[in-house]
Amino acid sequence: MKSFRQELWFEVKGRRAFINITSEVENALAASGIKEGMLLVNSMHITASVFINDDESGLHQDFDAWLEKLAPEKPYSQYQHNGGAEGNADAHMKRTVMGREVVVAVTDGKLDFGPWEQIYYGEFDGNRRKRVLIKIIGE
């Protein structure tokens, strides 16, 4: 069994964004040489997410609006976490809803996806550098 590890780095300008990272993950899989196994992609930051869904801009706008209703950024005073110098309690909650990681089967050197599935990085507290881990194990 082999293993492969790679990091992706992001610095989103602004507070929130959804970035399709499928091609970067596919490039890492190709570089690994692994043909059969499992691939993990996870955010290494508590205010960012990795998830799988459709590549459709209207859906991404819906995610953003829905998450803002569930955990509105303002007023900052509504969150205990924001009591000090923090102002990102909503980002922690949005990450919890959208998830930390995805695991995808690797079959014949390709991501074993269903129709329309793509991998996304979700940023909920941008304007600083953050990383995503790709870990692949298999043969």
When divided into structural domains, the chain yields a total of 1
**Structure confidence at residue 83 (pLDDT):** 85
Q: How many angstroms separate the CA atoms of 52 and 85, rounded?
A: 33
Q: How many angstroms separate the CA atoms of 26 and 31, rounded?
A: 9
Instruction: Determine the distance from the C-alpha atom of residue 6 to the mean position of all C-alpha atoms in its chain, rounded to a whole number.
Output: 15
CATH of the domain at 36: 2.60.120.460
Q: Give yes or no for a contact between 125 and 48, defined as CB atoms under 8 angstroms apart.
A: yes
**Structure confidence at residue 137 (pLDDT):** 98
Q: Give yes or no for a contact between 36 and 138, defined as CB atoms under 8 angstroms apart.
A: yes
Domain extent, residue 65, equals 2-138
Tens digit of pLDDT at every position of the chain (139 positions)? 999 999 999 999 999 999 999 999 999 999 999 999 999 999 999 999 999 999 998 999 999 999 999 999 999 999 999 987 789 999 999 999 999 999 999 999 999 999 999 999 999 999 999 999 999 999 9
